[in-house]
Amino acid sequence: MPIEPVILIAMLAVFAVGVFLAKLPAGIALALSAVAGALVAGEGIPIRHLVEGAFGYLDAVLIIATAMIFMKAIEASGALETISNAMIATLYRWPTLLMVFVTFFIMFPGMLTGLSSACILTTGALVTPALLAMGMPPLAVGSLVAMAAVYGMIAPPINIPAMIIGGGVDMPYIGFEGPLLLATVPLAVVSALIYRFRYIGRIDREQVLARIPPSVYPLHGAKLFLPLVVVVGLMVAVRAVPQWVPDIGVPLIFLLGALSALGTGNRFNMFLISRAAIRDALPVMAILVGVGMFVQIMTLTGVRGYIAAGALRLPELFLYGGIALIMPAFGSAYAASSVIGVPLVYVFLGRDEIVVTSALSLIAGVGDLMPPPSLLCVFAAQLVGEKNHFRILRASLPLIVLSLAVGIALIVFAADVGSALHY
């Protein structure tokens, strides 16, 4: 029997014991599983490889940290609650359009941070009372918020699972905007339409506005949105006119955006909100450090190549079914992207790798809903006052199946999709 499956089983066993029995943070469990894999392979404790792996996703870690600071800054300034209030006050006559905008609004923090949980904890929390006041049942609200959080994490410009997969195969994070929009925007619109036509009729504007924080626009005016203009403007400018605007890096763009929020809205302490942002993002940043170590040891010991070679021998039907079932079963988009996503890119060489990576990130993103952690379902259940978070998961199953089907379809037709997008 080859040694690679033994190493992989040992690594996954240590990870499972660490997370589910010892209740260790996922990042620490991943690091311990990497050490276990090296020991089983006879490599001892390869400090150089562990340190190199720990810094493998430094770019993504810096993006998460600075993006969370930016989100906390515009939340503290009152910009987010003002946008939420303006959306409902303006679009209440057109419930269909309003629901689409609300869904994109929930997705917004995930698009900038790459964190699904940021969607629920910020914009999701802001719109939940309004959705309940519109007549949506708590389970439907929780399901919509949780699914929008997944789509927000996968949508561009920041997609951490795609960055993890790209980093593992030396693929730069360039040209992903079109495939990621195709993978998420239609699903977000379909989700919004399903819940709109199933649950929402005429909207009582005053009743809904009474349930959400008031707008601070009358106090601060248009300058309230300066941080958003700075961040979006710089992100567009470095791509549209690179000869005039140097690429200063996404982390610095987010920091400049956060600093520009000072004095534009409600007063806040930058040090305190930065500390709160780092505290909220620390578990995810730790996971990325652990994922980097895990992938590095998989590469060192030959496990990554073994998985790719084994997947190549599977019939296509079993391969696609396995992807749809196994990747979400990891319960974490980041873990699934590193363990399964990276080798699978090699399996589909010859198709459009950017489209394939985008599709794999969507399938992996569904894992944030899955037990045993079911992190997004837990957060969504807390927002709507539901004691059993598995009921949120059950309500989301049709959209989960649809999302997995879209991901598989993108892989199957990756070459055609890539040609059509002309990137």
pLDDT greater at residue 265 or residue 308: 265
Average pLDDT in the 269-282 region? 92
281 Cβ neighbours under 8 A, 6+ residues apart: 64, 65, 68, 113, 115
Domain that holds residue 212: 3-421
Tens digits of residue pLDDT in 113-155: 888 888 988 899 889 998 998 889 999 999 999 999 999 999 9
User: Residue 383 has what pLDDT?
Assistant: 87
Q: Give percent of the chain with pLDDT exceeding 90.
A: 48
Tens digits of residue pLDDT in 42-57: 999 999 999 999 998 8
Any bridge partners for residue 349, and if so which?
351
What is the distance between the alpha carbons of residues 254 and 260, in angstroms, rounded to a whole number?
Answer: 10
Average pLDDT in the 60-73 region? 90
Q: What is the DSSP string of 271-306?
A: HHHHHHHHHHHHHHHHHHHHHHHHHHHHHHHTHHHH
Whether residue 422 has pLDDT greater than 70:
no
User: Residue 372 has what pLDDT?
Assistant: 65
Average pLDDT in the 3-7 region? 90
Tens digits of residue pLDDT in 15-46: 889 877 888 887 898 899 999 999 999 999 99
* Domains identified in the chain, total number: 1
Tokens of 240: 């549209």
370 Cβ neighbours under 8 A, 6+ residues apart: 328, 329, 330, 331, 393
User: Residue 66 has what pLDDT?
Assistant: 92
